[in-house]
Amino acid sequence: MSVADDASTGTAGDRPVAVVGAGAWGTALAIQAARAGFRVSLWARDPGDLLLADGSCRRLPGHRLPEAVTVTGRVPADAVLLLVAVPTQHLRPVLARVLPPKLPPASPLVACCKGFERTTLKLPAAIMADVAPDRPTAVLSGPNFAGEVAAGLPAAAVVAASEAALAARLAAMLSTSSFRLYDNADPVGVQCAGAAKNVVAIAAGAAIGAGLGENARAALVTRGLAEIARLAEALGGRADTVAGLSGMGDLLLTCTGAASRNYGFGLELGRGRRPDDILAERSTVAEGVATAPVLEQLGRQLGVSLPIAGTVAALIAGRLTLADARDQLLSRPLTQE
């Protein structure tokens, strides 16, 4: 294999793209990578259970895998890059288990999940660096409902890496005429935005579910954006990243789109249901539930004011009622925008 034949230089030859995680997003990314011209190896926890009787994907009903996608229980050792799309709380153990020891050192890991790890307060790229030190890492995030990307509807996202040239190469490799990737050199800002927007979406859903109105939702989205920008800067990211696709773009989608699991969780919360009861009915992930207490803790540790995240965390933990949550946010001291 020549050095020119990998993702570090942008030409993949015929090496496959590996997607780790066959949930809705991993499946959509596998379909997108095939659309971009790659052979794709889609790692599933239970490969035999991935397809429904009609041949469509269990996590993405109505969508079939293209011929270029092979479902597997093993990540191929010659993968040109890994798109990692397991829920953040499972990222560390899954990656440690599936990473092939002989994977070429230049094959990057691209985190496509959106959250903070609850036990360590780390973002996905830092988790990947713990598992695979010295390997190039990048992140992919943006306003993307899996079903729409799988269907080839127009969408945009951002690929970020601290090595700017790697982000640009990945964007070129994975973009198609329906999926436009922008490159970015602020992986911390992108990941912070992608993780925290899920918490704001829970707040937005709760406001609508509780009948607080559209004005309340617009205020939460806008002040949520300010909150995310403060946190991103405290973690070493940039506020202007948060104004882009991974922040503003994904807030717009997730706080208004009926397909959002985080917004849907908030909606049920706002209607007065208990968090455990809502979660017990679901087999899909709402990352904001695990991320909310992390944001609360980070806010305290870093001295950053995150009132919306703190309120969502308290609501989920049962430390606040809906009425208290509303009052707590509205009775804070007046301040400048």
Ligand X SMILES: O=P(O)(O)OC[C@H](O)CO
Q: Which are the catalytic amino acids? A: 197
State which residue, 127 or 204, has the beta carbon closest to ligand X. Answer: 204
234 is in an annotated binding site: no
State which residue, 283 or 331, has the beta carbon closest to ligand NAD. Answer: 283
* Among ligand X, ligand NAD, none, partner that 217 touches (CB below 5 to 8 angstroms by kind): none
142 is in an annotated binding site: yes
SS3 content of the chain, % helix, strand, coil (to 5): 50, 10, 40
Query: Residue 241, interface with ligand X (CB under 6 A)?
Result: no
Helix H or strand E encompassing 161: none
Query: Residue 260, interface with ligand X (CB under 6 A)?
Result: yes
Residues in the chain, overall count: 337
180 is in an annotated binding site: no
Stretch of residues binding ligand X (CB under 6 A), selected from 78-86, 94-102, 125-133, 249-257 = 249-257
The rounded distance, in Å, linking the Cα atoms of 92 and 124 is 9
Query: Which residues are at the interface with ligand NAD (CB under 6 A)?
Result: 21-26, 45, 59, 85-88, 90, 94, 112-115, 144-146, 284-285, 287
Among 250, 289, 294, 299, binds ligand X (CB under 6 A): 250
The rounded distance, in Å, linking the Cα atoms of 37 and 33 is 7
| Tokens found for residue 65 | 């895998």
Token pair 């922040």 is found at 247
Site for ligand X in 68-107 (CB under 6 A): none
Query: Residue 201, interface with ligand X (CB under 6 A)?
Result: yes
The rounded distance, in Å, linking the Cα atoms of 112 and 179 is 15
Of 54, 53, 45, 113, the residue nearest 74 (C-alpha): 45
As annotated, the binding site for sn-glycerol 3-phosphate includes 114, 142, 197, 250, 260-262
As annotated, the binding site for NADPH includes 25, 45, 114, 146, 261, 285, 287
